[in-house]
Structure 1
Amino acid sequence: MINQRIRTAGVAAFITATLIGSNPINAQQELTVHMNETIAPIQPTMYGIFFEDINFAADGGLYAEMIKNRSFEFTLPMMGWTQPNSDRHSFNEESGYALPVKYAEGDANQNFIRVQVKNAEGYELHNEGFRGMGIKEGEAYRFTFDAKQMQGNVSSVTVTLLNDAGKSIGEAIIPVSGSEWASYKAELIPNETVMKGSLKLTFEGTGELGLDMVSLFPKDTWKGRENGLRKDLVQLLADMDPGFLRFPGGCIVEGRTLARRYQWKKTVGPVEERPNLINRWNTEFEHRLTPDYYQSFGLGFFEYFQLSEDLGAEPLPILSCGIACQFNTGELVPMDELQPYVQDALDLIEFANGSTDTPWGKVREDMGHPEPFNMKYIGVGNEQWGPEYIERYKVFNEAIQFKYPDIIIVSGSGPFPEGDYFEYGMKELKKIGAEIIDEHYYKSPQWFKENATRYDSYDRNGPKIFAGEYAAQSVAIASPENKNNWDTALAEAAFMTGLERNAEVVQLTSYAPLMAHAEGWQWTPDMIWFNNLESYGTPNYYVQKLYATNRGTDLISITQDGMSLTGQDDLFASATLDSEANEVVLKMVNTSDKPKEIVLNFEGKKVKSQGTVQVLRDDSLTSENSFDSQEEISPVTKAISVKGSTSKQTLAPYSLNVVRIAFKK
C-alpha cells in the first residue's frame, strides 16, 4: 500500500483552515455512492508499468552497471574511455596506450583492448561512466574484469575511484597472471560521496595486457542480486504495486531498421555473450543528441521477467511484427520471410512458460529459473498502422492461437487516438476478433479532461482496451520544454476516473515514458527522474501510485443527480469496492481553482464511522517536484468521519482525493 503520511492534528487543521478560509465555497454537491450493485470487476492488471529504454532508463539507469562500454563493443570501441597520459600521437616518450582488438566474429563480444604499458608510472586508463559515476561513501562496490598477459611482465592492475576533482576516494590492487583469459575481482569502499566520479586503471610492470568486460556495480542492488538492478529505482516501482510490467518498450521494439530492432533471443544467456546495440533514441531528437547511447542488454528478457515476478506483476512483452518504426524507415519484412519473426514469438512463450525439457525452457533453467514465469500476455507490434500491420498481425495471431490458445494477444491501434490510422486499425482488428487493443495518446491537459468520457460509448462486447502509453504534454508532443507539473498530473487524474469507470472495457493502463536521467534524457515528460545518486517521483507518479494502490476489486457507481461525474462543474469521480479489505474506495478530482463542499451518501451497505482521505494537491498548476524538493507534491493522509450513511467533505482546489471507508459485512 501507499506510504501513508498521517500529519499531526495541528497541521491537518491548518490545511483545512487554509482550504476553506482562502476561497468561497460553492454550494454543496450531493453525491450518491451506489454500493448495492457492482458493475464489473477491476482487473488486477488495471494499473501497471510501461518500461522503455529511453532517457538512459536501462544502461545508466535501472541496470546498475557503472562502466560505459565495458566490453569495448560500441561503434567506436574506445568511446567512454580516455588515456590522459598517453603520448602515442606525439613525438614525446610514450607512457603507453590501449588499442581495440577484434578477436571474434558474430554479434557478441567481438572486441577486447590490448593495453601496451611502456611506463608504469605514467600510463592511465579512465572510464567516465554514464554522465559520471554516482559513488556513495562507505558502500561496497564490486569491480570485475577479464585479463590475460600477452607480453612482458604486467603483474597487477590498480583500480581507483576518483571524485569529480580527480582525487582518489578508494582503490584496490589486483594481481594478474597467465597467458589465458581469466576473471578477476575486487571490492572497493570509497571514503567520499560524489555525483560525478570516474574510474582509473593503472598497471604494475611493463608489457602488453589484454582487457575485457571491465565492470563496476554497487553490491547493494535490488534484492542483493550480484550485478543487478538499481535499488532505489526498483523500489519506486515496487511501491506502486503494479499489475503488469510491459517491456522492453515502445519504439525500441521496432528499431529504425529491422536489423536494429529489439531481438529478445540476443538478450538472454550469459551477459558477456549478449551483443551490444546502438540505441534507436541516440540521435532521434536534434534537441538531445546522445551518440553514446547503446544497449548492453545486461537488462534483458530474463531480467524483465524476473523483475515482473519480484513486483508481483504480470509480464507483458512486446515483440516486433516485422515492421521497423514507421516514423523512421518503415522497413517491411516480406510476407514470405515473416516466419522467423513469428517463431520468435512462439519461442518466447516457450522460454517463459515451457518445461525444462524444451529447448527454450532449458535456457531459462540454465539462467537459474527452472520454474515457469507463467506469462499470460504477449504483444505483437507497438505503434504500427495500416494494411501492412494488419496483414502481419493476422499471421502472428493465427500461429499463437493455434499453438498456445490460452495466451492473450495484445494488438495495437497505431500511434494516435483518432484519425485514419486509428479508425482503420480498430475496424480491422475488430473483424479479426482481437482480444486487447493498445491505444496511445500524448495530448494536452485539456484533452485529457475533455476525454474522461472516451470509453463510455465503447462496445462492452468488443475488444478490451489497453491504454498502453499516455501522458499529458504541457507544451507539445516530444517538446523538450514539457514539464511534469501539477497541471499535467491533475488532468491525468481526471482522465483516469474515466478509465476506471469503464473497467468493463479498459483492463490495462500505463503512463509513459517511465524514467529519465537528469542529464541523459531525450523525451519529456517522464514519470520518474533520477541522477547518479538520487531519484524521485513526479506528481504524475503519485497520481499513478494512488490509483494503483487503491485499485479495489469491483467497480460501482458514484453519481450526482443520477449522472456520472465526468467534469460537470470541474468535478470527476469514480468508485470501487475492495472486497479484500472490505472498504469502499472513491477517487474524486477537483480541477477548479475553488474548493468544493460535497456530501457523500452511501447506499446499499452500512459504512463505519471513520475513514481516511489521501489528498494530492497544490495551489499552483505549474508546480513540480525536483531533486531539491522531491515530495513538494505528494499525498497527505487525514482521518475523516461518517455520520450514519453520510460524510461531508471539502475538496481542495486542484486536488485528487482518495477516500477509503470500511463497510460492514
Structure 2
Amino acid sequence: MKKQNLTLTIDATKATSKVSPLHYGLMTEEINYSYDGGLYAELIRNRAFLNDAKNPAHWSSVGGATLMLDTEGPVNTALPKSLKVECMAPSLGVANDGYWGFPITSSTSYKASFFVRGSVGALTLTLQSRDGKTIYAKTRVPAVGEGWIKRTATLKTGNVAPTTDAVFTITTEKPGTLWLSLVSLFPPTWNNRPNGFRRDLMQLLVDLKPAFLRFPGGNYLEGNTIAERFDWKKTIGPIETRPGHMCPWGYRSTDGMGLLEFLLWCEDMGAEPVLGVYAGYSLRGEFVKPGPDLEPYIQEALEEIEYITGSVSTKWGAQRAKDGHPKPFNLQYVEVGNEDFFDRSGSYDGRFAQFFDAIKAKYPHLKVVSTVGNEQPASKRVKSRTPDALDEHYYRKAADFIRDSPTHFDRYDRKGPEIFVGEWGAHEEIAPWLPPSRSLPATPSMKAALGDAAFMTAMERHSDFVTMQCYAPLFVNINPGGRQWRPDLIGYDALRSYGAPSYYALKLFSTSVGDELLKVSLTGAPLLASVTRQSKTGKLFVKYVNPGETPQAVSIQLMGVKSVKSEATVTMLAAPPDETNSMEKPTQVVSKTVKISGVKPEFAYTFPPHSITLIQLET
C-alpha cells in the first residue's frame, strides 16, 4: 500500500470569523427515565399514586396491610388520589421499591416528606433491604390525626456498603387506617437545592462546560396529545400543586422537573436557557389551526417568556420571585415547537409566522428558531417568515458522518439563518428506531464516538453560523425497562453513573474551544479536523479525527506564526471501534493527556488509528 503524504495546513494569519459563544451545549427531554429516575433526585416512584388508574404501582404491603387507591377527601385537586392503608395489627404498612431500588451509601442523610392522616399512632420510616433483614436507616414520626398534615423527617445511614438492594417503608405503631399522599424522599442534591438534582449526574454535565441547555424537549414538549403537552404553568410552585402528566415515552412524569428547575439547572451549570415553546402540534397528529384558535397558545408562550425574563413588576416575573428566584434569567433563543416536519397538516408555516410576529412584537431582541431545517425537504420549510435560526437533527451511522462531514456545511449560505443542530448522535450500524437496536447496549461504542467527533469537526469549522449544537439523547437509565432509545451519552442506575466514549469525545471538544475560527486544510485525506484560537492568549486548539485502521503521519504546518512553544499538550481518545464503557467498566475508554516536545511552525505528528486528538499549541 502506498504511504499517504498528509499535510495539515493551519492559516493563523487572520481569523476567518468568530466562533459562536454558544457552540457547545446540551439537549434534554423526559426519555429513558432522564428526569424521574434520573437527574431529578426524587427516590420514591409513583409518589402521588397516579401512575396506574387502579393499582398503587411500585407500592406493596408490609406485614399484610390492605392497600387501595382512594379518591375521597384528597389533599387538593392536583393530588386527587391517596393511598388508603388498613392495618389490622401494629407494625404494618407499605413499602416503595423506588426506581429500581434506592441508592444506599454510608453516612448519608435522606429527607422524607409526605401528607398523612389517620389514627394509627406514631409512624416508623425505614430504608431497608428488600428481604427486611437489614435496616440501613430508621426514624420515628409523631402521631397524626384525622386531618391531612404534612410530615418531614430525616433518615441517616451509618457505615454501610453501597447498594441498591433497598426499599422505603412506612409502618404504624397501632392498628387502624392510614392515608398517604405525595410521599417523597431525596438524597443529598447538587448545591443542596430542595427538589434538586443528583450530584453525580450534575458533575458529569458541569464537566462538559456547556454553554446552553435546550429544554424541555423534544417530543416531551409536544406530548402525544395537546392535553399531554408540557404545560409549563402546571410545573411551577410547590410540588404538591403539580399534577404531573403522561410523557410520550410510555410513563408518567411527576413534573418535579418544572420550568424553574430547568432554569436553575442552567444557572448551576453556568449555561444559558434555550427555550422550546409549545406551538400547537402534538405527536399523534392533533394540531391547532393558525388564527384565533392558536392565540391562547401564543399567549401561553409569551407568559412563559415573561416568567423567565420579566422583572418582579410583571405578573409572571412576580410569580417567579414568589417561587424563589427574583432575578430574571437571560434568554436569547426561543424555539417554536419541535420537529414540526412531522406535521402532515402543513400548518407549521402559518403557526410559526403567528408565533414569530407575536414574540418579535413583545421581545424584539429574541431570536426565534424554526424546527424545520435544511435537512428536510424544501416543501416543509418556513417560507412566510425568515427564521433567525433553523433547528436541524441528524441521527446517522458513524460511517455516514465520517463520509459526509468534510463537506457537509460547505454548501450552506453563510448569510442565511443561523444553524442550530438541536439533536445529533452517531450509531454504529442499526438505526435507533429499528427493533433490533433494542438488543444493543444503551450507550455507544468507540465506533460511534469517531462518527460523533467527525461531525463535531464539521460543525466547529462552521461555528460562525452553526451557532449551537447538542448531542441527544443525553441520559439513559440502564435498568431493564429504563430505556426507550439508544445510543445515549450518559448511563446510570440508582447508585452509579458513567459516560460513553461519545461523552469523552464531546468533552474533548466542548472544554477546549477558542473564540476565533482559523482556516484549515488537509492534503492526502478527507478533512476531519478543525482549529480554533483563543484571541487573548494566542493558544490554538487543533482537533483531528483518524477513524481508520492505520496510523496517520501528518505534517502540521502553521502559517502566519512566527514562533510556537516547543512543548504542547495532547489529549487523546483512542480505542478499538468495538470497545465501550459500561457500568462494570465505566472508564474502559477515556481520554488521556500527555506532553510532547519538538513543536515548531512545521512539525510532524502521528495520529493513532481509531483516535480523536486535541493538540493545544501556544503561539
- TM bin, normalised by shorter chain, reads over 0.9
The CA distance in 1 between the partners of 2:325 and 2:255, in whole Å, is 18
Q: Partner letter of residue 540 of structure 1?
A: S
* 3-state SS of 1:394 partner: helix
Q: Partner letter of residue 403 of structure 2?
A: E
Greater Cα shift, 481-490 or 352-361? 481-490
Residue 642 of structure 1, CA deviation:
4.0
Residue 398 in 1 paired to residue 345 in 2? Answer: no
Map 1:376-391; keep pairs closer than 5 Å. 376-385=332-341, 387-391=346-350
The CA distance in 2 between the partners of 1:262 and 1:211, in whole Å, is 27
Aligned to 1:647: 603
Residue 445 in 1 paired to residue 398 in 2? Answer: yes
Q: Are the counterparts in 2 of residues 613 and 639 from structure 1 also a CA contact under 8 Å? A: yes
Map 1:21-420; keep pairs closer than 5 Å. 26-76=3-53, 78-86=56-64, 95-103=65-73, 108-121=78-91, 123-149=92-118, 153-167=119-133, 168-191=135-158, 192=160, 193-218=162-187, 220-282=188-250, 293-325=251-283, 329-335=284-290, 336-385=292-341, 387-413=346-372, 418=375
Residue 163 of structure 1, CA deviation:
1.7
Aligned to 2:519: 557
- Going from structure 1 to structure 2, the CA distance change for 1:662 and 1:207 (only over 3 Å counts) comes to same
Q: 2:549 aligns with which of 588, 593, 596?
A: 593
- Count, aligned residues: 601
Residue 482 of structure 1, CA deviation:
4.7
- Going from structure 1 to structure 2, the CA distance change for 1:580 and 1:534 (only over 3 Å counts) comes to farther
Q: Are the counterparts in 2 of residues 133 and 198 from structure 1 also a CA contact under 8 Å? A: yes
- Going from structure 1 to structure 2, the CA distance change for 1:473 and 1:107 (only over 3 Å counts) comes to farther
Identical aligned residues as a percent:
35
The CA distance in 1 between the partners of 2:371 and 2:110, in whole Å, is 43
The CA distance in 2 between the partners of 1:424 and 1:547, in whole Å, is 35
The CA distance in 1 between the partners of 2:394 and 2:195, in whole Å, is 36
Aligned to 1:610: 567
- Going from structure 1 to structure 2, the CA distance change for 1:495 and 1:614 (only over 3 Å counts) comes to same
Q: Are the counterparts in 2 of residues 442 and 473 from structure 1 also a CA contact under 8 Å? A: yes
Greater Cα shift, 333-342 or 230-239? 333-342
Map 1:455-604; keep pairs closer than 5 Å. 455-474=409-428, 475-478=430-433, 479-483=437-441, 484-519=444-479, 520-561=482-523, 569=525, 572-604=528-560
Residue 74 of structure 1, CA deviation:
2.5
The CA distance in 1 between the partners of 2:73 and 2:365, in whole Å, is 45
Residue 373 of structure 1, CA deviation:
0.5
Q: Are the counterparts in 2 of residues 41 and 553 from structure 1 also a CA contact under 8 Å? A: yes
Q: Partner letter of residue 116 of structure 1?
A: E
The CA distance in 2 between the partners of 1:451 and 1:402, in whole Å, is 40
Q: Which runs of 5+ in 1 are unaligned?
A: 1-23, 87-94, 283-292, 562-567
Q: Deviations over 1:39-61 (max 9, x none)?
A: 11111110100011100000011
Q: Partner letter of residue 117 of structure 1?
A: C
* 3-state SS of 2:454 partner: helix
Greater Cα shift, 474-483 or 204-213? 474-483
Map 1:623-638; keep pairs closer than 5 Å. 623-638=579-594
The CA distance in 2 between the partners of 1:139 and 1:250, in whole Å, is 35
The CA distance in 1 between the partners of 2:2 and 2:612, in whole Å, is 17
* 3-state SS of 1:44 partner: coil
Residue 207 of structure 1, CA deviation:
2.4
Residue 172 of structure 1, CA deviation:
0.9
Q: Partner letter of residue 116 of structure 2?
A: A
- Going from structure 1 to structure 2, the CA distance change for 1:75 and 1:608 (only over 3 Å counts) comes to same
Q: Are the counterparts in 2 of residues 486 and 622 from structure 1 also a CA contact under 8 Å? A: yes
The CA distance in 2 between the partners of 1:575 and 1:623, in whole Å, is 28
Q: Partner letter of residue 32 of structure 1?
A: T
The CA distance in 1 between the partners of 2:66 and 2:416, in whole Å, is 68
Pairwise CA RMSD of aligned residues?
Answer: 1.9
Q: Are the counterparts in 2 of residues 529 and 538 from structure 1 also a CA contact under 8 Å? A: yes
Q: Are the counterparts in 2 of residues 25 and 597 from structure 1 also a CA contact under 8 Å? A: no
The CA distance in 2 between the partners of 1:440 and 1:221, in whole Å, is 33
The CA distance in 2 between the partners of 1:377 and 1:196, in whole Å, is 44
Q: Partner letter of residue 446 of structure 1?
A: A
Q: Partner letter of residue 183 of structure 1?
A: K
Q: Partner letter of residue 453 of structure 2?
A: A
The CA distance in 2 between the partners of 1:207 and 1:488, in whole Å, is 58
The CA distance in 2 between the partners of 1:360 and 1:509, in whole Å, is 30
The CA distance in 2 between the partners of 1:495 and 1:99, in whole Å, is 51
Q: Are the counterparts in 2 of residues 240 and 545 from structure 1 also a CA contact under 8 Å? A: yes
The CA distance in 1 between the partners of 2:262 and 2:201, in whole Å, is 14
* 3-state SS of 1:437 partner: strand
The CA distance in 2 between the partners of 1:655 and 1:323, in whole Å, is 42
Residue 570 of structure 1, CA deviation:
5.3
Q: Are the counterparts in 1 of residues 514 and 535 from structure 2 also a CA contact under 8 Å? A: yes
The CA distance in 1 between the partners of 2:274 and 2:389, in whole Å, is 12
Q: Partner letter of residue 610 of structure 1?
A: E
Residue 435 in 1 paired to residue 388 in 2? Answer: yes
* 3-state SS of 2:166 partner: strand
TM-score, normalising length: structure 2: 0.93
Aligned to 1:454: 408
Q: Deviations over 1:366-385 (max 9, x none)?
A: 11110000111111111012
* 3-state SS of 1:609 partner: coil
Q: Deviations over 1:323-371 (max 9, x none)?
A: 111xxx2111233311111011101110011011111101110111100
Q: Partner letter of residue 516 of structure 2?
A: D
- Going from structure 1 to structure 2, the CA distance change for 1:348 and 1:78 (only over 3 Å counts) comes to same
Q: Are the counterparts in 2 of residues 143 and 185 from structure 1 also a CA contact under 8 Å? A: yes
Q: Are the counterparts in 2 of residues 144 and 184 from structure 1 also a CA contact under 8 Å? A: yes
The CA distance in 1 between the partners of 2:395 and 2:142, in whole Å, is 54
Residue 27 of structure 1, CA deviation:
4.5
The CA distance in 2 between the partners of 1:643 and 1:536, in whole Å, is 35
- Going from structure 1 to structure 2, the CA distance change for 1:247 and 1:254 (only over 3 Å counts) comes to same
